[in-house]
Amino acid sequence: MAVYTEVPDGELEDFIARYDIGRVVSCKGIAEGVENSNFLLHTEKGSYILTLYEKRVKAADLPFFIGLMEHLARKGLACPTPIHQRSGEALGQLCGRPAALISFLEGMWPRRPAARHCQLLGEALANFHLAGADFTMKRPNDLSLAGWRRLFEACRERAHEVSPGLAEELARELELLEREWPLSLEVGTIHADLFPDNVFFLQDRLSGIIDFYFACTDFYAYDVAVCLNAWCFEPNIAFNTTKARGFIANYRKIRSMPKAELQALPLLARGSALRFLLTRLYDWLNHPPGAFVKPKDPLEYLRKLRFHAGLRGPGEYGLDL
Amino acid sequence: MAVYTEVPDGELEDFIARYDIGRVVSCKGIAEGVENSNFLLHTEKGSYILTLYEKRVKAADLPFFIGLMEHLARKGLACPTPIHQRSGEALGQLCGRPAALISFLEGMWPRRPAARHCQLLGEALANFHLAGADFTMKRPNDLSLAGWRRLFEACRERAHEVSPGLAEELARELELLEREWPLSLEVGTIHADLFPDNVFFLQDRLSGIIDFYFACTDFYAYDVAVCLNAWCFEPNIAFNTTKARGFIANYRKIRSMPKAELQALPLLARGSALRFLLTRLYDWLNHPPGAFVKPKDPLEYLRKLRFHAGLRGPGEYGLDL
């Protein structure tokens, strides 16, 4: 939960006057998301999300993110789409920050995802992969192997403050992943952060996916592995094979997964668990005292990592191989 | 900025089903307010504010707050009004907390209040006082003299951590206020917390006032004094007599202020400054590390207090006496 930037009313009105959406009638900071400042804006014409990009998002990446949202919306995917200024620009400046106005997507994210949510997620992820396949811009995944190594080195000396022996376990894990990480799986545009708070539902349907600010060019199957971690564990970190089976079966109805992708899943899921473990560990060790954002527990992902590391193969996720 | 309670989607839908407002299509936590958890809700029929009352608000006071909002709305004052469940209840339970659904008020609060805002505020405060005059429920102001004494004793030993000599200065101030506090000014329903973030504007008009959760039965002139502190100082704590003059002149066009109220203003403003100084000091000394809410600077109000203490009379606010 975070709004980092206060937008003075006059500056807001000047910014919104560049769009053809009528005048602002209300603007509330939203207590969700940790990377950027988000506001729910009501104007005479409707509801919008106003995003101010804070320093964690690189300005050079914004054309990729904005372009991807536009590409996906053009393909008919249910997702927010940037509104253009009268001048044609989709990216502006507000309070000294890059800022964009995005269409409002109805729906709520599931606080307690059920098996049915995971089935619908499978379809939506596959549709996202297909819709993004001909998106021509590329962005390397800076939170893959090289990024993990950097984060690990930045946390190594103080990792024991979170759990004794953690640095040694992470070092071994990272070496194994650097040695065995796949080289030849199919690559495309992936979301890379498709947690429940980025997927909206309305009654019994999935109404759309949001937050493309970690999207990048990487293995499709890595996105599947991220979702296994984010959606298929219970709060006590027990893996729910019903959820995983439903998720992957529905994914495969829309995009077939070659055998190599299925075989790679446990390793990709270990990598994905390490990625969230390391970013959480970094935030845990480096969040300023009294910060707005309460850091998430890194050890949740250590337990997930160990689960994947202990599997004999992808069949143990409950999949039909 | 704070949302203290996560509302699971199922519980939210069950709660909203008790109202005649259609189904929920979105629900976002709002990063404003520090006492309660607030959500901006869109349903098939419109926009609403959902408030979950957290522990800082006493459950026994809720009927007063809800009753006051209904009374004011019936009188035609622009303010949010509670929506009733089909059963007739305006107060429900959600996630184990008292909860109310309130109509959505358009407008934005001014981040940099100008003289024009202060003029409009004067009218709105006077209209609020007149509209509340025949509200029959009473609530003592638990943040007046006795409450200040309690807060001061709770902070006394550690006040020097914030500023050397602060405890001694506050002790002297509190003794003076206890000795000289007026006894016979006109009493009625006051807002008691009418800061800029509780007053909404749309273009050139004041669209309404919100947040009645400090409202109580106390001197009308004390509400005027709160606004002098909250609206009429510049960020560098210079007092702006243009703002004060416009605010009070417009107030007096609608509700006349007897001479005794005008004479009492400097003392009431000292008391009001002490009230915000003490609650901020308490929060500063007692906020948990890593708390969501960044405490506000208590010393801002020490400087305001000293300003009022140094005046020879209310004429120095720039008023016509």
Interface of B with A (CB under 8 A): 1-3, 6-10, 12, 23-32, 40, 42, 47, 104, 106-112, 200-203, 287, 289-292, 294
Mean of the per-residue pLDDT values of chain B: 94
DSSP secondary structure letters along B1-45: --------HHHHHHHHTTSSS--EEEEEEBS--SSSEEEEEEETT
Contact status, residue B94 vs residue B12, Cβ threshold 8 Å: yes
Provide, as residue numbers in chain A, all residues whose Cβ is less than 8 Å from the Cβ of B29: 1, 30-32
Provide, as residue numbers in chain B, all residues whose Cβ is less than 8 Å from the Cβ of A3: 1, 31
Contact between B29 and A28 using a beta-carbon 8 Å cutoff: no
Q: pLDDT tens digits for A35-61?
A: 789 999 999 999 999 999 988 889 999
DSSP secondary structure letters along B253-266: HHS---HHHHHHHH
Is B291 a residue whose pLDDT tops 70? no
Contact status, residue B262 vs residue B319, Cβ threshold 8 Å: yes
Mean pLDDT of B116-132: 98
Contact between A1 and B40 using a beta-carbon 8 Å cutoff: no
Is A1 a residue whose pLDDT tops 50? no
Cβ within 8 Å of residue B58, ≥6 positions away: none
Predicted pLDDT at A6: 83
On whether ipTM exceeds 0.85, the answer is yes
Provide, as residue numbers in chain A, all residues whose Cβ is less than 8 Å from the Cβ of B109: 9
Provide, as residue numbers in chain B, all residues whose Cβ is less than 8 Å from the Cβ of A108: 9, 12, 24, 26-27
Mean of the per-residue pLDDT values of chain A: 94
Shortest CA distance to B239 belongs to which of B254, B251, B249, B227?
B227
Of B108, B111, B292, the CB nearest to A294: B292
- For an interface test with A, the pick among B4, B102, B111 (most A C-beta atoms closer than 10 Å) comes out as B111
Predicted pLDDT at B1: 44
Contact between B28 and A7 using a beta-carbon 8 Å cutoff: no
Predicted pLDDT at B294: 67
